[in-house]
Every structure is written in structure tokens, then in C-alpha cells.
């Protein structure tokens, strides 16, 4: 037992740079903003937005929608590499999400708001992308998610195990391309119960299921009836 403790302490000493925003928070910083992180599987690092205030803080933001200024109907390379502005609307990128989460232990939190400023959230105690993949891109960056809690209801568990589909790379189980059909990009199964990268539509719209609002269960459906004004998806390495 003593040897295990020693090994753990040694490993901690080697982490001079933050692996993620939970390390940024642990270093004593408490202001939300853009920080550099250096995941184990991408030691050169990259910039992320750290939410250091929501629910205890330490969240690495992987997606934000807030004003519709960014086009989210993009192809595979954009979703793989990320796009947008870290301080505004953006998608961090599948490969970066993979490098952050492949060591395991990450929690996912999705915060949603509607145009009436009502809010709801969904938390998943286990979240990773491509965790068991030798070549994650070839494997389609498959989603693993488990352990729901929150106020929004669950709309993601049905997507667990699915590969990521964009309008130019169909990896879903539908005879159609769900990303093209619903104008988004997601871990679709046989299209969706959630579609957080769908179109940003203001207010109610007649088109079916192609907006960001697609979070179909629980209180969130009741919450809006219209399009949400924003979402923020963030991940956290829980302290164990």
C-alpha cells in the first residue's frame, strides 16, 4: 500500500503544467477565462475556456452557443479540429476532447438556457470520447457517457457508443445522414434525442427537430417550447 501512495505522490510532482481546468482551479485561480492546458495525451497543449465558477468550478468548456454568430453546420475536419472563438461560440474539437478524456474519470455537464432565461442542466458522471480506440479518428471518436443527473432530463444516454457524424461523414445507423438531415453534427444513432450542434434558431420554428433545442426529455422540453438561447457543454475531472 505504501508503494502505491509513493507512486501517486511522484506522479503529482511531475505535473508542473495543468492537464485541464480542474488543475487550473487547483492552482488557486478562480476567474473564468482562457487558459492553457497540457493533457497527458497532447503535451504541447492548447487554449481552452475554463469555467471556474459553475457548481464548484474546474470545468473545461468543449462547446458554447450563445448568440448564433458562429456557423455550426460544418464538416468532419472542422469538428475534428475545432472552430470558433474560445471566449465565444465554439466547438473545442473531437481530437482535443479525446486527448482530454481518454485517461478517464471525466464528468460532463451541459447547461442550457432559453430566451426567457429559464435554465436547465444535465450531468453525466462518466464521459469520454474514443477512450478504447487505437486510432480515434478512424474509429469515429465514439462517445461513452453514463450516470445522468440534473434538471433537464436525459437525452444523451441513447447516444452512448455511437460514432460522430458530420454532413460529409455518415457514421450513424440511419439510412440517411442524420447530420445532413437535421443540420447538425453529433453522436447520432438513428437520428437523435439531442442535437446541441444544430441550427441556432430564434424563437419557435416550424421545421422539425433541426434546431439546438433538441433535448427531448424531462423538464427541458417543458422549459422552452421554443429555441434555447444558449448551451454550454463542459467537462470536469472529478477529484477522486
Cβ 183 vs Cβ 157: under 8 Å: no
Nearer Cβ to Ca ion, position 27 or 173? 173
Quote the longest CA-to-CA distance of the chain. 63
What DSSP string describes 147-208? Answer: EEEESS---SGGGTTPPPBBTTB--SSSSS-HHHHHTS-B--SSS-SB-TTSB---S--SSS
32, with CB counted inside 10 A (0-12, 13-18, 19+), is: middle
Q: CB of residue 143 vs Ca ion: minimum separation in angstroms?
A: 16
Task: Indicate the helix (H) or strand (E) that contains 137.
Answer: helix 136-139
Measuring CA to CA, how many Å separate 6 from each of 2, 9, 16, 100, 238? 6, 5, 18, 25, 21
CB of 197 to Ca ion, least distance (A): 17
Q: Which is nearer to Ca ion, 49 or 164 (CB)?
A: 164
Residue (of 209, 210, 159, 215) closest to 189 by Cα position: 159
Nearer to Ca ion, 152 or 191 (CB): 191
Residue 160 or 174: the one with the smaller Cβ distance to Ca ion is 174
Q: Which residues bind Ca ion (CB under 5 A)?
A: 170, 172, 174
How far apart are CB 153 and Ca ion at their closest, in Å?
Answer: 26
Q: Which of 69/173 has CB closer to Ca ion? A: 173
Q: Which three cell numbers stand for residue 13?
A: 510532482
Nearer Cβ to Ca ion (86/165)? 165
H or E stretch including 95?
helix 94-101
Least separation in angstroms between CB 37 and Ca ion:
34
Residue 12 CB, shortest distance to Ca ion, in Å, is 45
What minimum distance in Å lies between the beta carbon of 172 and Ca ion? 4
Amino acid at each position: 500500500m505504501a508503494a502505491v501512495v509513493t507512486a501517486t505522490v511522484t506522479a503529482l510532482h511531475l505535473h508542473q503544467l495543468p492537464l485541464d481546468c480542474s488543475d487550473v482551479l487547483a492552482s488557486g485561480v478562480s476567474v473564468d477565462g482562457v487558459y492553457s492546458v497540457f493533457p497527458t495525451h497532447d503535451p504541447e497543449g492548447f487554449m481552452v475556456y475554463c469555467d471556474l465558477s459553475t457548481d464548484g468550478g474546474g470545468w473545461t468548456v468543449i462547446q458554447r452557443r450563445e448568440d448564433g454568430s458562429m456557423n455550426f453546420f460544418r464538416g468532419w475536419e472542422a469538428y475534428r479540429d475545432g472552430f470558433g472563438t474560445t471566449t465565444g461560440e465554439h466547438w473545442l474539437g473531437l481530437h482535443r476532447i479525446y486527448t482530454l478524456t481518454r485517461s478517464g474519470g471525466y464528468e460532463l455537464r451541459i447547461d442550457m438556457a432559453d430566451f426567457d432565461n429559464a435554465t436547465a442542466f444535465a450531468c453525466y458522471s462518466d464521459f469520454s470520447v474514443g477512450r478504447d480506440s487505437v486510432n480515434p479518428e478512424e474509429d469515429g471518436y465514439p462517445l461513452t457517457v453514463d450516470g445522468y443527473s440534473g434538471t433537464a432530463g436525459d437525452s444523451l444516454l441513447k447516444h452512448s457508443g455511437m460514432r460522430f457524424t458530420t454532413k460529409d461523414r455518415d457514421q450513424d445507423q440511419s439510412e440517411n445522414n442524420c447530420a445532413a438531415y437535421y443540420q447538425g453534427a453529433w453522436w447520432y444513432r438513428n437520428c437523435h434525442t439531442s442535437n446541441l450542434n444544430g441550427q441556432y434558431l430564434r424563437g419557435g420554428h416550424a421545421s422539425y427537430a433541426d434546431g439546438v433545442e433538441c433535448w427531448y426529455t424531462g423538464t427541458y422540453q417543458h422549459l422552452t417550447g421554443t429555441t434555447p438561447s444558449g448551451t454550454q457543454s463542459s467537462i470536469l475531472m472529478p477529484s477522486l
